[in-house]
């Protein structure tokens, strides 16, 4: 291997940087206009969630843009306190105070970026029909309410604590429902999602995730206000 | 009297005497004067105790994640097994409600618990021994004033032979030196206050002095840095200008780092972010400055010579890859010249925590990113995103190599294996 001394390399570097380097930027690359701004402060989030919270091309990380601020805040607090376990997030927010987490939550809640290209999940007809039924009508025989009963007719969530599901990737939806089912993820008591997830089979979970992935997100992605419907299950996060 | 009976009496006398000597030599017996009137704690004393308890960062270890403050239960992984930190709320049954201030001082000063058992040095009594009786009493008064929490202590899960507390007698002989802080009359009051806080309650040496296989550290190596067991962060030397030696920092920069968590020279992350968040941010400006004065004055000594030019050689293709990654991902915040935008984004050029011999910390920062702690002086810190999912081991190694040698930085290259070793660990 050819080695040259560091000082030579540095000299070469200064020559090399003179022609302007074409920067490949994407939504996942750190960038901001003003140092003293929430955009600059939120740069710690962008390589996974995108500059405006739209998500990135990278597999698992969820879209957080436009989710209710109350929901995002609850998640940030849970990550900080360790009640929601995901080590990279637990580590990042470990020493951030409540008012700042609230500010970050409100920042991403206010974003309305375009949806990323959706990821399709290959489903057979039966699974597709099951997914559609669970999302839009529920399964009364199993005591399962429809997703849209709480997550909004357009699946854009409900103020203050229920997240939108539109635009979430199947891997993320499957991951979260499964974690709820096995007791690794919790929400404020009464934990309505625990009641629901424990009634879902693994097949149900992948059917729901597949159907959600194929739903075209609405143009107005704002969460619904909380006074439109009465929810079939009581949820601690809505109190 | 028969001869055998006489021998028996002599032996018995020796036995009693020996037992007495052993009793008197047993650690932690303090003469206490029963005639001293015990005054009820004043508001002033309790406030002072709260401040000192923060300076000692008691809450960090004595609180379980998401648990009640001081109620204990936190698992503390050590190379010898897990310790479970006890409840120090004033609950009569499960906490320290029945302790007297004498017993509390004996524990702080000698590492002997109320029941006479020897404490494991995970409790920093080798440092707390320097705390004065007055300060210990104030901390005691504060702890007695907080709400009692009924929560039973959990048994430690230490491996044999470390589960035998009697072995601590040996450890103590080797590594424990009892004694309150003695002011150095040749130094200023400010320096002495700083030394008292750094060496005593601050227990900085717990991380910033290397520990050996027995979990001991030697005074001659004080503040020379070391890996933090089980946390996979490196606590840099405070005495080496090539690490975090503070000899050429301004006093204000050191005080800012301690109190705000950010400074014009560097930023705290990982375990030090926790210390700043729980403890140092609450210090008065005077105490932060006193610590800075003492830390800056620590004698600077570099035990190993600077890396040779041979050791600093970098393959040109590595340098080019590192530069490309840097320009694409890092320039926005840290600048083409590595000057950063301090204090929001730390400088990389001339930043000792990047160039020091072990590259653990800069590799971890690139992999996992990090937010400095939100503090009273910097409640809305700027953060760095993780890159572990964007950059492969070669790219991380290249960009860390690049920042370690660019702009006149004096570091050495790192390789993909070093990155991979840290990638497989969960961030803590």
Residues in B closer than 8 angstroms to A87, CB to CB, are: 426-428
Residues in B closer than 8 angstroms to A32, CB to CB, are: 332
pTM: 0.88
Among the partner residues B328, B336, B374, nearest to A29 by beta-carbon distance: B328
Among the partner residues B314, B383, B427, nearest to A9 by beta-carbon distance: B314
Q: Is A105 on the interface with B (CB under 8 A)?
A: no
- Say how many Å lie between the first and final Cα of chain B, rounded: 73
Closest CA to A171 of A6, A58, A17, A21: A58
Which CATH code fits A38-109? 1.10.760.10
pLDDT at A228: 85
**Domain coordinates in residue numbering, chain B:** 43-175, 189-297, 316-423
Q: Is A106 on the interface with B (CB under 8 A)?
A: no
Residues in B closer than 8 angstroms to A28, CB to CB, are: 390
pLDDT at A14: 38
Q: Is A57 on the interface with B (CB under 8 A)?
A: no
Q: What is the mean pLDDT of each run of 10 residues along chain A (239 residues)?
A: 42 39 66 96 96 84 94 97 94 97 98 82 90 96 96 94 91 95 95 97 96 82 88 93
CATH topology of domain A125-238: Cytochrome Bc1 Complex; Chain D, domain 2 (1.10.760)
> How many other β-carbons are positioned within 10 Å of the β-carbon of residue B301?
11
Topology alike, domains B189-297 and B316-423 = yes
Domain B316-423 falls under CATH 3.40.50.1970: no
CA A35 – CA B177 distance, rounded (Å) = 49
Q: Is A143 on the interface with B (CB under 8 A)?
A: no
pLDDT at B116: 94
**For residues B95 and B88, is the Cβ–Cβ distance under 8 A?**
yes
Q: Per DSSP, what are the bridge partners of residue B63?
A: B72
pLDDT at A2: 41
pLDDT at A66: 94
Query: Residues with Cβ < 8 Å from B343, sequence gap 6 or more?
Result: B256, B260, B262, B263, B264, B267, B378
CA B281 – CA B69 distance, rounded (Å) = 18
pLDDT at B331: 97
Chain A residue with minimal CA distance to B411? A6
CATH 1.10.760.10 boundaries in chain A: 38-109, 125-238
Residues in A closer than 8 angstroms to B333, CB to CB, are: 30, 43
- pLDDT beneath 70: ranges in chain B: 1-3, 7-8, 10-38, 212-213, 215, 218-219, 240-245, 302-303, 426-428
Cβ <8 Å between A30 and B333: yes
Domain B189-297 falls under CATH 1.10.12: no
């Amino acid at each position: 291997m050819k080695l040259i001394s560091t000082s030579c390399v540095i000299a070469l570097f200064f020559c090399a940087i003179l022609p302007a380097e074409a920067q490949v930027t994407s939504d996942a690359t750190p960038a901001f206009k003003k140092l003293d701004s929430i955009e600059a402060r939120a740069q710690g989030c962008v390589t996974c969630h995108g500059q405006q919270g739209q998500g990135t091309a990278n597999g698992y990380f969820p879209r957080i843009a436009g989710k209710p601020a109350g929901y995002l805040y609850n998640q940030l607090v849970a990550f900080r306190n360790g009640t929601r376990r995901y080590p990279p997030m637990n580590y990042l927010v470990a020493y951030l105070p409540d008012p700042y987490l609230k500010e970050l939550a409100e920042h991403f809640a206010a974003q309305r970026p375009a949806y990323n290209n959706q990821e399709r999940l290959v489903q057979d007809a039966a699974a597709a029909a099951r997914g559609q039924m669970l999302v839009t009508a529920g399964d009364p025989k199993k005591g399962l309410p429809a997703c849209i009963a709480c997550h909004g007719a357009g699946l854009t969530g409900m103020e203050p604590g229920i997240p939108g599901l539109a635009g979430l990737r199947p891997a993320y939806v499957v991951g979260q429902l499964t974690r709820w089912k096995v007791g690794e993820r919790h929400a404020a008591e009464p934990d309505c999602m625990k009641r629901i997830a424990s009634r879902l089979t693994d097949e149900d979970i992948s059917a729901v995730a597949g159907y959600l992935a194929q739903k075209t997100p609405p143009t107005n992605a704002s969460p619904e206000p909380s006074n439109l419907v009465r929810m079939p299950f009581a949820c601690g996060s809505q109190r | 009297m028969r001869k055998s009976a006489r021998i028996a009496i002599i032996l018995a006398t020796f036995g009693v005497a020996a037992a007495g000597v052993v009793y008197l030599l047993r650690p932690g017996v303090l003469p206490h004067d029963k005639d001293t009137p015990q005054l009820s704690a004043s508001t002033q004393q309790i406030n002072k105790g709260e401040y000192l308890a923060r300076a000692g960062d008691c809450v960090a270890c004595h609180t379980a994640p998401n648990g009640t403050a001081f109620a204990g239960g936190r698992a503390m992984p050590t190379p010898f097994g897990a310790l479970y930190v006890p409840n120090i709320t004033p609950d009569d049954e499960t906490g320290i409600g029945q302790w007297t201030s004498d017993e509390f001082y004996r524990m702080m000063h000698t590492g002997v618990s109320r029941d006479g058992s020897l404490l494991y040095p995970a409790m920093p009594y080798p440092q707390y021994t320097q705390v004065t009786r007055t300060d210990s009493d104030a901390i005691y008064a504060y702890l007695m004033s907080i709400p009692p929490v009924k929560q039973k202590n959990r048994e430690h899960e230490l491996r044999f032979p470390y589960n035998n507390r009697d072995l601590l007698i040996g450890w103590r002989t080797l590594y424990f030196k009892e004694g309150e802080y003695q002011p150095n009359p040749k130094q200023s009051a400010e320096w002495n206050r700083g030394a008292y806080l750094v060496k005593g309650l601050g227990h900085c040496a717990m991380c910033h002095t290397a520990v050996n296989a027995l979990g001991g550290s030697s005074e001659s190596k004080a503040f020379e840095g070391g890996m933090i067991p089980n946390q996979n962060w490196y606590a840099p030397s405070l005495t080496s200008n090539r690490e975090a030696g503070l000899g050429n920092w301004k006093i204000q920069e050191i005080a800012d780092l301690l109190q705000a968590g950010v400074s014009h020279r560097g930023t705290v992350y990982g375990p030090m972010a926790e210390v700043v968040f729980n403890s140092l941010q609450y210090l008065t400006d005077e105490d932060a400055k006193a610590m800075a004065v003492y830390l800056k004055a620590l004698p600077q000594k570099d035990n190993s010579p600077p890396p040779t030019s041979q050791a600093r050689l970098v393959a040109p293709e590595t340098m080019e890859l590192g530069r490309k990654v840097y320009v694409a991902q890092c320039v926005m915040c840290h600048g083409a010249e590595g000057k950063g935008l301090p204090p929001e984004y730390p400088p990389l050029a001339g930043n000792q925590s990047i160039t020091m011999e072990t590259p653990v910390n800069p590799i971890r920062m690139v992999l996992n990113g990090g937010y400095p702690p939100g503090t009273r002086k910097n409640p809305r810190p700027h953060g760095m995103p993780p890159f572990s999912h964007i950059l492969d081991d070669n790219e991380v190694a290249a960009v860390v190599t690049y920042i370690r040698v660019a702009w006149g930085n004096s570091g050495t290259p790192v390789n993909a294996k070093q990155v991979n070793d840290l990638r497989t660990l969960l961030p803590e």
